[in-house]
Amino acid sequence: MSVFARAVFVFGLAALLAGCGGGAASFAPAGSVAPRAPLSVIAANSGTLYVAATSSVYAVPLNSNGPTNAVRTITPHPNQTNHLITGVATSADGTLDILERYFDGPSQSVQHCRVVVEGTTANGSPAASNIPCDATDQTQSESIARNYSGGFDVLITDVTSGKDLVRRYGGDGATVLSTLTLNTYPLYLATDFGGHDWLDSSGGDVTMYKGATTDPTQVTTHYVVSAPNGLKQMALAPDRTLYVVNGAIGNQVIDAIPIGATTPSRTIGPFTSNMVCALAVDSQGQLYVALCSTGNNAPALVRVYDSAANGKPVPQRIITVQPTTTYIRGIAIDETPASAR
Query: 28 pLDDT exceeds 70?
Result: no
Q: pLDDT tens-digit profile of 253-284?
A: 999 999 888 778 999 999 999 999 999 999 99
Q: pLDDT tens-digit profile of 92-123?
A: 999 999 999 988 877 667 889 999 999 999 99
Residue 240 confidence (pLDDT):
92
Q: Are 251 and 224 a contacting pair, CB within 8 Å? A: no
Claim: this prediction has a pTM higher than 0.85? yes
Query: 290 pLDDT exceeds 80?
Result: yes
Query: 91 pLDDT exceeds 70?
Result: yes
3-class secondary structure for the chain? CCCCCCCCCCCCHHHHCCCCCCCCCCECCCCCCCCCCCCCCCCCCCCEEEEECCCCEEEEECCCCEEEECCEEECCCCCCCCEEEEEEEECCCCCEEEEEEEEECHHHCEEEEEEEEECCCCCECCCCEEEECCCCCCEEEEEEEECCCCCEEEEEEECCCCCEEEEEECCCCCCEEEEEECCCCEEEEEECCCCCEEEEECCCEEEEECCCCCCCCCCCEEEEECCCCCCCCEEECCCCCEEEEECCCCCEEEEEECCCCCCCCEEEEEECCEEEEEEEECCCCCEEEEEEECCCCCCCEEEEECCCCCECCCCCEEEEEECCCCCCCEEEEECCCHHHC
Residue 105 confidence (pLDDT):
72
Gap between the Cα atoms of 119 and 317, Å rounded: 28
Going 274 to 276 to 277 to 282, the CA torsion angle's sign is positive
3-class secondary structure for 141-170? EEEEEECCCCCEEEEEEECCCCCEEEEEEC
Going 67 to 73 to 76 to 79, the CA torsion angle's sign is positive
Residue 229 confidence (pLDDT):
67
> Hey, what domains does the chain have and what are their CATH numbers?
13-336 (2.130.10.10)
**Of 16, 6, 134, 62, the residue nearest 317 (C-alpha):** 62
Q: pLDDT tens-digit profile of 170-221?
A: 999 889 999 999 999 998 999 998 889 999 877 778 899 999 999 999 999 8
Q: Are 162 and 138 a contacting pair, CB within 8 Å? A: no
Residue 109 confidence (pLDDT):
72
